[in-house]
Structure 1
């Protein structure tokens, strides 16, 4: 793959500036990842492997591509005198636009969100940078200058491209003659990086991080010179350093945990170990291999539902595409891995994937496999698995909740994976399952009670909880944005109705005795006149006013009808710029509260008190007052009354 002919410049050199985010990333990376700098070789080999995969796919599907019959390979050499390392591949290569796009910008959605999460803590930032996937830029950890020469397989010899940069603010790009296709990357090492100018060091890194690469990675062969009593490096004979076979195609007994982990890092560009993985050969009418990983941390772009590059699709070991979204449902978009089918055609297209019965079987089988893993973690008594599931839920719980509405066939299984915060605990940790809740239900209780809100503090202190705390009834505390949407798809669990304590009339069923119900009826009659007067005063704000028994300490609260969106949902819709239903809440007053009893005895200021009670109830559930100045004015007037 060495270029045998001199390369001459045929276009004027052009200097361009890096995208601002690239400059920032380079500085962060050089400082944050310095303790793990050898990963630069893994990243460059991984990119070379991707280029070879893409060429092999194009050769199968594009009859207009003409190329030589040379074997696809990666060659690594070094030069001690010039302090350089060279990584070459004869893959698909890059043209001028590819070079500028891939090496001058970070062409990823969510870039700004990624940078907003950086903390300044080198250890934490190194982890985040790893999730972002730095690839090529990691070479600047050890290199003071990098030169890239590349030619796309469809470009003529006269349209090769030379890219050069010292990793500061700019890079240069020029057009050259390049006789061989593919990409050659030359690293000019920084001072004190001499350890990488060693065949032993480079081979150990390749075998540690890149043994799974399915293309041969070659270096010059070493032989022992008896006369000189030293190892001599050949200048014309190569040896293969890696196993050069698809890792997923090997038997499980042939693969070590370390090899599984390094393969995950190769396909995901994540620096951390995966949380867990599964490797299976599925046989029958549909024969395929699945090697699937669940990451330890959520990627920075987890909430981009259109970002679907977790699963690489192969057919008979031939790479087809690296964002096969048809192979797993959207709520499992965090899963990384490889699926290799023996049934699909090599020229498979996205349209074929959407319509193929074989793909549907693979999708169902892979979804089942991931849910099996999660069920095993979530139901285990093993301490390590309990910790793993807690970590999984913290990172991916909100995404799993999407599956309740998206995957009706597996809704019951997903329901058992759900975890929530609860009044049974004193923290916001989501570790209570619906089954846990049912096991702790009081005698006579036949409903699962929950409350939704903007954050843990607001729901934990909600007045709606007062009667439940008094009666020691557990309530689930739901604060994720997806919760209310999700709950619309699971009205029941194990034949127990899920009920919002902030909707409709309070119904404690068998938890209330007959004497309580009789007393409530008598109280409602006693306060009827006050209720009617308050209804008139609040007609523009409240749909209704009524007596409640869900409160013990607060004078009033707001509720909505059973089938109407909660106040929290309406606020989220408004924040998202969406239309909201023109509905009014219901004001419920606590007849046992001193303030309500005072108004009942002396209703001279009932107009002010009615509005104050409504506004206080709205504030108590994190609502926003339409007219805060009027609220303050009314409150001050009432405070001045002797």
Structure 2
């Protein structure tokens, strides 16, 4: 026999918060079913654990499940479980009072917030998922009985100021939540939540991997038109990440990857991990075999799927994966997060940052293992994702050395096969402590650059970097494994310098400097609008001149890249270096010594500078003038 009905009031602060929950917390009303199914799943987990820990608990755990029941006539949707259940005190304590600790502080913060997004993220910090039912229901009736007790309880409310509570007999162990649904209304965003297809859709999207079966009565029509009642299980329950790796086949991994990535190729690498301790989570990550077409699009979504206890929370969780690993697909299932956690909160959550660090190390470690064990597979992966990974050298200083270990680059050592920095270091000449590189638009441009001449002649290996991102990371990374990285187009290079640092003067060098003591200052003055200095070069063997920057100057290519994005860059003057043995330079020196006022010398100086600019792939400031001067002097020569 049922007892008398007792009417209780929500706490004043709880009423205010309840209104915010119903009207503000969720933009997608479908979430209500996810929340109720998640609560039911937790109740099943708790009953199973309690029955294992306490043999006196009288409860049947042979068929733990969640049932969804639809009554079209009454317009009700019921979510039923045979889990742990609740006592009367549980109902008053857990449902009658929302977020009982800190509610006042929360409300104050919400009042102080200046926008709805901030208010929503604040609300999302509290476990208030049950009340999302009032977004779609005029009234909610809850019936429950706790395992190990005889008394059941009915709870009912319209979500306003009060709720009713009543002791009832003959309830099974578990909980049923019945929603008296509002009419479907497109203006209010209320779908027909009694429709079988809609319920199936929501369960598939948000609760497919819940470990317990979610069942619903349905009807099947046979070929002869006969209708047969049946009970369908709506969820797959196949959360691969929650199973031990040795129990999952490669086929299952591939099928799951294809499901979440919409890629019909098998992944290049699968990473299956589980973390236990203060913050537990499972992760199943995949490195694709082929780059997606939108890998470099600004609109590309990145991040992995986030679940909490197998309940889907969001796609593309950017807080879990850095931008340079945006090609990684997969799932992270955290055990200790709120279902209502927002993207804003995730960005600042200490535990999430710790998870992100570990995921990044796992991914980079997997690529490193591939590099060591299967060079061909690694080469294919680097060909697809190398440009993106190199973005990490700029973005992720904590992992820059790990990323440098992965870098694969063309070099003068082998025209066909790229090299790693580690292999470069192992081939360095005795006494060499610098890793030399040169950037350019193409390999041909770099190989034919005047800057390469002395390095080629003396057998020094030079890395050939032709990706636009190379201009940035190579300039910012100071060293690899203790070896400095240096662009051969910057600073002074003296490959003849003794290894022990002996700086004794070279008689030939001293004589050359004396021979050019007059020409160099004159050229520096004559070309002052284009260059900061003219000096003799030790890096040229066949070319007449080249242009070099100071050690910390921005490169011309990078300067153009910045300007193309609308950034104003001050012009950078560089140094013109001359080959003192080249016939053109020696003839210019002789002519200047004979008649320093000859106006033709100024034109020759412009041609020398323009030729050096063209040789490095640069743009002439006045191509028409350069062509005219060149034509004039060619005519005089013939």
Fold shared, TM-score > 0.5 on shorter chain: yes
In structure 1, distance between residues paired with 2:284 and 2:559: 42
Q: Report deviation, 1:563.
A: 1.3
Match for residue 236 of structure 1?
Answer: 229
Match for residue 78 of structure 2?
Answer: 69
Aligned to 1:506, the other structure's residue is in SS state coil
Aligned to 2:476, the other structure's residue is in SS state coil
In structure 1, distance between residues paired with 2:354 and 2:34: 24
Q: Could you tell me which of 160, 184, 190 is aligned with 1:157?
A: 184
Q: Report deviation, 1:351.
A: 3.1
8 A contact 1:292–1:338 mirrored in 2: yes
Q: Could you tell me which of 398, 404, 414 is aligned with 1:415?
A: 404
What is the TM-score normalised by the length of structure 2?
0.65
Q: Report deviation, 1:339.
A: 0.5
1:340-489 superposed matches below 5 A:
340-380=333-373, 385-427=374-416, 431-489=418-476
In structure 2, distance between residues paired with 1:448 and 1:465: 14
Q: Report deviation, 1:568.
A: 1.7
Q: Report deviation, 1:622.
A: 1.4
Aligned to 2:554, the other structure's residue is in SS state coil
Aligned to 2:621, the other structure's residue is in SS state coil
Structure 1 pair 379/522, CA: closer, same or farther in 2 (3 Å)?
farther
Match for residue 555 of structure 2?
Answer: 566
Structure 1 pair 71/417, CA: closer, same or farther in 2 (3 Å)?
farther
Match for residue 628 of structure 1?
Answer: 623
Q: Report deviation, 1:613.
A: 0.9
Structure 1 pair 461/334, CA: closer, same or farther in 2 (3 Å)?
same
1:533-544 superposed matches below 5 A:
533-544=522-533
- 1:287 counterpart = 2:275: no
Q: Report deviation, 1:309.
A: 3.5
CA RMSD of aligned residues (A): 3.8
8 A contact 2:440–2:466 mirrored in 1: yes
Q: Could you tell me which of 523, 538, 557 is aligned with 2:546?
A: 557
Residues 256-303 of structure 1: per-residue CA shift (max 9 Å, x gap): 111111111111122221111111121122211010111112222323
In structure 1, distance between residues paired with 2:314 and 2:181: 20
8 A contact 2:36–2:79 mirrored in 1: no
8 A contact 1:56–1:318 mirrored in 2: no
Aligned to 1:296, the other structure's residue is in SS state coil
8 A contact 1:534–1:545 mirrored in 2: yes
- 1:617 counterpart = 2:612: yes
Q: Could you tell me which of 255, 260, 271 is aligned with 2:253?
A: 260
1:15-414 superposed matches below 5 A:
56-57=33-34, 68-69=77-78, 156-157=183-184, 159=186, 180-181=194-195, 183=197, 235-237=228-230, 243-304=236-297, 307-380=300-373, 385-414=374-403
8 A contact 1:53–1:318 mirrored in 2: no
In structure 1, distance between residues paired with 2:542 and 2:181: 76
Q: Report deviation, 1:566.
A: 1.3
Q: Comparing 589-598 with 235-244, which one deviates more in the overlay? A: 235-244
1:485-564 superposed matches below 5 A:
485-508=472-495, 509-510=497-498, 517-564=506-553
Match for residue 34 of structure 1?
Answer: none
8 A contact 1:221–1:233 mirrored in 2: no
Structure 1 pair 177/371, CA: closer, same or farther in 2 (3 Å)?
closer
Structure 1 pair 437/184, CA: closer, same or farther in 2 (3 Å)?
same
In structure 2, distance between residues paired with 1:491 and 1:544: 26
In structure 2, distance between residues paired with 1:60 and 1:510: 75
Q: Report deviation, 1:238.
A: 5.2
Q: Report deviation, 1:547.
A: 1.0
Q: Report deviation, 1:240.
A: 5.2
8 A contact 1:286–1:361 mirrored in 2: no
Aligned to 2:337, the other structure's residue is in SS state coil
Q: Could you tell me which of 572, 581, 586 is aligned with 1:597?
A: 586
In structure 1, distance between residues paired with 2:182 and 2:443: 58
8 A contact 2:304–2:330 mirrored in 1: yes
In structure 2, distance between residues paired with 1:618 and 1:470: 22
8 A contact 2:536–2:578 mirrored in 1: yes
Residues 209-234 of structure 1: per-residue CA shift (max 9 Å, x gap): xx9898879999999x9xxxx99997
Aligned to 1:449, the other structure's residue is in SS state strand
Q: Report deviation, 1:357.
A: 2.3
Structure 1 pair 233/182, CA: closer, same or farther in 2 (3 Å)?
closer
Structure 1 pair 177/412, CA: closer, same or farther in 2 (3 Å)?
closer
In structure 1, distance between residues paired with 2:210 and 2:308: 16
**Of the two, which has the highest radius of gyration?**
2
Residues 183-208 of structure 1: per-residue CA shift (max 9 Å, x gap): 579xxxxxxxxxxxxxxxxxxxx9xx
8 A contact 2:438–2:462 mirrored in 1: yes
Residues 86-121 of structure 1: per-residue CA shift (max 9 Å, x gap): xxxxxx9xxxxxxxxxxxxxxxxxxxxxxxxxxxxx
In structure 2, distance between residues paired with 1:475 and 1:413: 21
In structure 2, distance between residues paired with 1:53 and 1:178: 10
Q: Report deviation, 1:399.
A: 1.8
Aligned to 1:346, the other structure's residue is in SS state coil
Aligned residues: 463
Structure 1 pair 67/411, CA: closer, same or farther in 2 (3 Å)?
farther
What is the TM-score normalised by the length of structure 1?
0.65
8 A contact 1:217–1:240 mirrored in 2: yes
In structure 2, distance between residues paired with 1:177 and 1:577: 47
Structure 1 pair 266/71, CA: closer, same or farther in 2 (3 Å)?
farther
Aligned to 1:420, the other structure's residue is in SS state strand
